[in-house]
């Protein structure tokens, strides 16, 4: 336990967050655990007594980017020192987990290195530095779960307090050939259901209408509940039954292998599930999927999509793709293009394969040349863009339920969020903020939609 938790005078905390929604969530939780020590968020690192760089290992040259950012933070620290002010520098997240020791060797001015599983011990680490000086590294996978130890009164971090993320699961046991997550985030663990319900209740009591459940393998969720275990569809039912003011539910990120029939049925039966699912496939070639250790074939993926569409005909699908995995031929890439043509995605993320030290694919022969990867990525992205435009165009003339999230940029304009996560702009009374309204969609923009309040009906809640 931390020795010193008495509130101290306000100290500035600046957190720089890179990477996925899990990191966004973790950054907010780090701010929560540091609040009792007197730390409150400041906008600029120049005014921060503590700077945390929350890193992501998925992107290319992740470690180099961290070192270059640390160089900049070191200069800020030196400038503050001339003014007689101290600055703690901490590196958190997946790069910290993967390269902790090397980080301290190459950047000895870093005070704290902590992996994603040890945020709840931050106050203790800060106290240890205050007492003894030096640097602290904590990248264990502790036996106690951080889920049990994060503060109960966590403040929601969300857009205008109407939408929020809620972590229910962490880690991954799948070991895809290209991915660092199983090494940086550890084994799959699920948060107990009672604690999820309690956090969801607090969020909704504070005004949240839409929750996105987070996890690296969120559909592998199996959380303790009463005398047994609840799966994701069971958790979703509990959220729906017990928290009537919760209007919308999403979850991300899922693995096809855990897309069980009960979860597919829940998309039909549970009205708070949005008709939208991010389901990474990575490749459309069975040979590459096998080399990736994905444990599903392209046809099995098509089959899941078919069942999802049977259960919920208006569901929109998004995905992740990697081109140029070691061994990928032109024919394999064409199989990916074919899968995209068959499924038709509403949007998608696509990446060139890039080697991650320590992962199986990094050591495989037949690495694909950079220019080949670039050509394939351009072709795939052009096709995905076409599909995204077609999806947006298909909504023109329809009436959609829009969660009104705030005031727009133009006078009289409101912003909202469609069931498909698209930003939507339309004119309306600011009193509608927080409600779900019917909007007639009229105009497609590149990354958003325009419309007007539907005459046929006012608000739905």
Binding site for ligand SF4 (CB under 6 A): 172, 174-176, 179, 181-182, 216-217, 255
Q: Which does 175 bind (CB under 5 to 8 A by kind): ligand SF4, ligand 5AD, none?
A: ligand SF4
Residue with Cβ nearer ligand SF4 (349 or 445): 349
Q: Is 345 in the site for ligand 5AD (CB under 6 A)?
A: no
Which of these, 446, 281, 252, 302, lies nearest to 380 by C-alpha position?
281
Burial level of 224, CB count in 10 A (0-12/13-18/19+)? middle
Using the contact rule CB under 6 A, the part of the chain among 306-314, 351-359, 401-409, 442-450 near ligand 5AD is 351-359
Least gap, CB of 296 to ligand 5AD (angstroms) = 14
CA 74, CA 158: separation in Å to the nearest integer? 30
CA distance readout (Å), 3 to 37, 129, 403? 11, 12, 45
The residue written with tokens 């497609």 in the block is 444
Q: Write down the least CB distance from residue 320 to ligand 5AD, Å.
A: 3
Identify the sign of the CA torsion 150, 152, 153, 158. Answer: positive
Is 176 labelled a binding residue? yes
Which of ligand SF4, ligand 5AD, none does residue 103 bind (CB under 5 to 8 Å by kind)?
Answer: none
Question: Which does residue 381 bind out of ligand SF4, ligand 5AD, none, counting CB within 5 to 8 angstroms by kind?
Answer: none
Minimal distance in Å, beta carbon 285 to ligand 5AD? 15
| Least distance (Å) between residue 287 CB and ligand SF4 | 18
94 belongs to an annotated ligand binding site: yes
Nearest distance in Å: CB 289, ligand 5AD: 13
Q: Which is nearer to ligand 5AD, 145 or 354 (CB)?
A: 354
By CB under 6 A, what part of segment 48-77 binds ligand 5AD?
Answer: 58
CB of 398 to ligand SF4, least distance (A): 33
Least distance between ligand 5AD and beta carbon 61 (Å): 11
CB-CB neighbours of 385 under 10 Å? 13
Among residues 116 and 182, whose Cβ is nearest to ligand SF4?
Answer: 182
> Is 20 marked as binding a ligand?
yes
181 is in an annotated binding site: no
Would you say 362 or 399 has its CB closer to ligand SF4?
Answer: 362
Q: Is the peptide bond before 253 cis (omega within 30 degrees of 0)?
A: yes
User: Which parts of 352-381 interact with ligand 5AD (CB under 6 A)?
Assistant: 353-354, 356
Residue 293 binds to ligand 5AD (criterion: CB under 6 A): no
Is 320 a binding residue for ligand 5AD by CB under 6 A? The answer is: yes
Cα–Cα distance, 353 to 321 (Å, whole number): 9
Distance CA(391)–CA(398), nearest Å, equals 12
Annotated binding residue 301:
no
Helix (H) or strand (E) segment spanning residue 248: strand 248-252
CA–CA separation, 346 vs 386, rounded Å? 10
Question: Closest Cα to residue 162, out of 407, 384, 363, 404?
Answer: 404
Among 73, 179, 203, 281, the residue binding ligand 5AD under the rule CB under 6 A is 179
Strands 189-190 and 248-252: unpaired
Q: Which does 427 bind (CB under 5 to 8 A by kind): ligand SF4, ligand 5AD, none?
A: none
| Sheet with 112-114, edge to edge strand ranges | 39-41, 11-17, 50-55, 88-92, 112-114, 136-138
54 marked among binding-site residues:
no
Residues 6 or more apart whose CB falls under 8 angstroms from that of 46 comprise 76, 79, 80
Backbone dihedral angles phi then psi of residue 417, each to the nearest 5 degrees: -130, 130
- What is the rounded distance in angstroms from the CA atom of residue 358 to the CA atom of residue 177? 10
The binder of ligand 5AD chosen from 147, 276, 301, 351 (CB under 6 A): 351
- Binding site for [4Fe-4S] cluster: residue ranges? 20, 56, 94, 172, 176, 179
- Binding site: residue ranges? 20, 56, 94, 172, 176, 179
């Amino acid at each position: 336990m931390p020795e010193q938790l008495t509130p101290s005078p306000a100290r500035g905390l600046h957190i720089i967050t890179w990477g996925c929604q899990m990191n966004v969530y973790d950054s907010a939780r780090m701010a929560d655990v540091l609040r009792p020590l007197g730390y409150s968020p400041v906008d600029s690192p120049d005014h921060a007594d503590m700077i945390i760089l929350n890193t992501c290992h998925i992107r290319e040259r992740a470690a180099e980017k961290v070192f270059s950012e640390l160089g900049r933070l070191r200069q800020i620290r030196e400038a503050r020192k001339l003014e007689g002010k101290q600055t703690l520098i901490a590196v958190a997240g997946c790069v910290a987990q993967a390269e902790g020791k090397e980080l301290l060797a190459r950047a000895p001015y870093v005070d704290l290195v902590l992996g994603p599983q040890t945020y709840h011990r931050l106050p203790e680490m800060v106290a240890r530095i205050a007492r003894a000086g030096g640097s602290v590294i904590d990248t264990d996978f502790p036996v106690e779960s951080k889920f049990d130890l994060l503060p109960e009164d966590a403040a929601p971090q969300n857009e205008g307090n109407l939408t929020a993320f809620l972590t229910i699961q962490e880690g991954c046991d799948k070991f895809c050939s290209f991915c660092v997550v199983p090494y940086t985030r550890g084994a799959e663990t699920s948060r107990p259901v009672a604690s999820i319900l309690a956090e969801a209740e607090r969020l909704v009591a504070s005004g949240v209408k839409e929750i996105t459940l987070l996890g690296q393998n969120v559909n592998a969720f199996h959380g303790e509940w009463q005398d047994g275990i609840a799966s994701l569809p069971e958790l979703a039912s509990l959220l729906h039954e017990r928290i009537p003011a919760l209007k919308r539910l999403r979850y991300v990120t899922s693995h096809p292998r855990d897309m069980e029939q009960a979860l597919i049925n829940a998309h039909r039966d549970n009205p708070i599930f949005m008709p939208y699912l991010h389901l990474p496939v990575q490749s459309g070639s069975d040979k590459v999927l096998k080399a990736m250790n994905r444990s599903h074939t392209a046809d099995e993926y098509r089959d899941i999509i078919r069942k999802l569409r049977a259960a919920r005909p208006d569901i929109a699908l998004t995905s992740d793709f990697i081109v140029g995995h070691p061994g990928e031929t032109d024919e394999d890439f064409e199989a990916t293009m074919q899968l995209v043509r068959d499924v038709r995605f509403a949007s998608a993320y696509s990446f060139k394969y890039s080697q991650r030290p320590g992962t199986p694919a990094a050591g495989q022969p037949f690495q694909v040349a950079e220019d080949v990867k670039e050509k394939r990525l351009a072709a795939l992205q052009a096709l995905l863009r076409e599909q995204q435009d077609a999806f947006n165009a298909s909504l023109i003339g329809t009436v959609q339920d829009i969660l009104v999230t705030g005031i727009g940029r133009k006078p009289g304009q409101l912003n909202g969020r469609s069931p498909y996560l698209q930003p939507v702009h339309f004119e309306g009374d600011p009193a509608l903020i927080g409600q779900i309204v019917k909007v007639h969609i009229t105009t497609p923009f590149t990354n958003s939609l325009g419309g007007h309040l539907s005459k046929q009906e006012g608000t739905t809640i």
